[in-house]
Structure formats: structure tokens, C-alpha cells
Amino acid sequence: MKVLVTGAAGFIGSHLVDRLCEQGADVIGIDNLDPQVHKTSPGYLHRDVDYLFDDLRNWEASASYVDVEAIVHLAAAGGVRRAAREPAEVIDNNAVGTARLVHQAQKLPSLKQFILMSSFSVYGNAYSYALKDGRTIPAVRYPEDLIAGRFSVYCPDTGEEGVICPITESAPLQPLETYGASKAMQELCLAGLAVENTTILRASSVVGPRMRWFDEDATIIARLAGWISNGQRPVVFEDGLQIRDWIAVSDVVDAILRLLSNPMGPQVLNLCSGVPTTLLEACEQIATSIGVVCDPDVRPQARPGDMRDCLGDASGLTALLGRPPVSFQKAASSMFMKTECTAGPG
């Protein structure tokens, strides 16, 4: 099989490229080597891959792509912090780049499958919370509660604290910020794609080797690991009891490979573990893996745009993999070894 991977030099893309090459696939990789992500050319680039280092917005489907059978579109400018700082660039990169890719893909006669990596950010405020009487309430937090240090989601009638319900693939797209909006735009770009099989993968926060540890746009888990490994107190806002749902990059790659080998998979699929982990629990697990003691700096203030919790329904992924995804707790020991967390950026 000949596979075109966008974002092929990135965190997820590089792992996928490695596995595809192990399986004997013919891989073409496109990556713009964004200087905000790659300070130098990554040392892990695969020698058997034909890379095109260019902006996807400039890509032309030339004769060398005529026999491409599948596209895995991972390229995107992210994340939330960068999108707030450079909204026009992130939207243009993600939405226009995807639209360009979809338009050019129509010229590929052998193309049978298109897989898009989206994000849980598209769900935004679509979460619901369960009450003891069986009712659910929306993920709305009120200013008076936040000012009083009540950071959870509460029933406005009774004051009862709600329990987050794992979000399913059928939830509406309600992004809260620019990055989530740009990923929703990517999904909408597929509406005009005439390909036999398309799949949208909505990933929670992905963790594993080759993560970005040291720049201002690193994910929260990478920032926590970086602080802890450097002997600094990790900064956690609100009360540290916010729930997050992390998935191992190995499970993400396994899911993509399963879809490539069985194109008749779901049209939309959550990529998550389905296992809730609070930020304070994550700090403890990272510190234990590294072999240090951790005393988080908990700052009791809510930041605009922050969602309280993130938790996905992983039943679809479990069915696809034929096993439960790896939980953050089980994977932390190998993900956050001290040598990994202190390695410089690629």
C-alpha cells in the first residue's frame, strides 16, 4: 500500500511512519518543519521515506502521487495557546491547508481512504454532567461559583456537584476557542471529498516519546513533566481536581493501522483511554515515574476558556483495537522516564 502522511515529521506522524515502514508500506511524508515545533531537522526521520518539506497550502498532486491509496492527514498548527496568539495563521494553516489537500486529493485515481486527525477540542462545551437523580446538566460554570473557589460543575437549582459523562462521537461540535474551531473546520472540509472511506479521529491529549517538552505551546501534561523533571513545582490552576483523559501515542498509531487494514471502520472515532485522571494524580504519577517528590503549586483561580473536565467514551476504540486502550497510569512509567523528559526539542 502507498500511503501519504501529512505532518510526517511530527510527534504522532513520525511514530506512524515508523510503523508503516516496518509493515512494508510505501510512504510519502509531507511536513513543513514548522520552526515553532522543530528547532532543527528531527534526527528520527526515516531513511526509507520520501519526504516533501513544504507547506501543505502549496501542495500539488503531481505524478509521483498518482498511485497513493490512502491519506492520513495529521498536519495541523496547534494548539490552544498558539491559536490564541496567532488566530489567523492557525485557522489558515489548518482549514485552508486541509481544503487544499482535499481539493488535490480528488486528482488521485487510486485513492480509496482518507483519515483525518481531529481533536477533542471540537467538543468544547458539549459535555454533560450526571446528577444523582439521573438527570444531566450542561457543562456550564457560573462566575459566582468560580469567584468562590467552586470550580466544578454544579446544578443551578440544587447546588449538587455533577459528575462528568464520557463524551461520545455523536456529541455536537461546540468549540470554545480558536484551535478547536480550526479543527472543526478541518472536519467540515471533508464534506466534499468523494472517497470510498473517510474516517475522522478525534483525539484527546496524546502522550509518549517525541513529545514537545520545552516550548510555550507544549500540552499541559508535557509542561507538568518538564517542571517536575527539572525540580520545579508544577503549576496547576483551580483545585487540581480537573479530569483529563490521556491516550498513548502507540494506541493512536495502532488505531490508524487497524483502519488502514480494514477501511470499513467507523466514520468518526474517539481516540482516548476513557480513564479519568486528575491533574494532581498526573503530577504524582509523573513524579513516581521519574523518581522524585512532587509538591504541586495549586493556584485557586480559573482561566478564561478552560474547560473543567475532559473525558471520552472509548468503547469504539476498544472495539477497533480488540482490547482496552492503555491507561495513563499504566503507561506513565515508560512515558515519563527522566531521560525522556529532559531531552531537548527535536
The pLDDT of residue 344 is above 70: no
- pLDDT on residue 214: 61
Residue 338 reports pLDDT greater than 80: no
Residue with the bigger pLDDT between 221 and 117: it is 117
Cell of 194: 468523494
Which is more confident, 338 or 141?
141
Convert the pLDDT of each residue in 203-244 to its tens digit. Answer: 999 998 888 776 666 788 989 998 998 999 999 999 999 999
pTM for the whole structure: 0.92
Superfamily of domain 2-127+165-341: NAD(P)-binding Rossmann-like Domain (3.40.50.720)
More confident residue, 28 or 38: 28
Q: Which of 124, 129, 120, 111 is nearest to 268 (CA)?
A: 120
Binning pLDDT at 50, 70 and 90, where does residue 82 land? confident
Q: What is the pLDDT of residues 83-109, one digit of tens each?
A: 888 899 999 999 999 999 999 999 999
Mean pLDDT of the chain: 91
Dihedral-angle region of residue 90 (phi above 0 means left; psi in -120 to 50 means alpha; beta otherwise): alpha
Cis peptide before 79 (omega within 30 of 0): yes
- Report the 10 Å Cβ neighbour count for 114: 22
Please say whether the beta carbons of 223 and 236 come within 8 A.
no
Tens-digit pLDDT profile for residues 280-331: 999 999 999 889 999 999 999 998 778 899 999 999 999 999 999 999 988 7
Rounded to 10 degrees, the C-alpha dihedral 52/58/60/64 comes to -10
| Mode of pairing for the β-strands spanning 205-207 and 246-248 | parallel
What pLDDT, on the 0 to 100 scale, is given for residue 345? 36
Backbone angles phi, psi at 237, to 5 degrees: -90, 170
Return the minimum-mean-pLDDT range out of 6-10, 15-19, 26-30, 35-39: 35-39
Q: What are the tens digits of pLDDT across the range 168-212?
A: 999 999 998 999 999 999 999 999 798 889 999 999 999 988 887
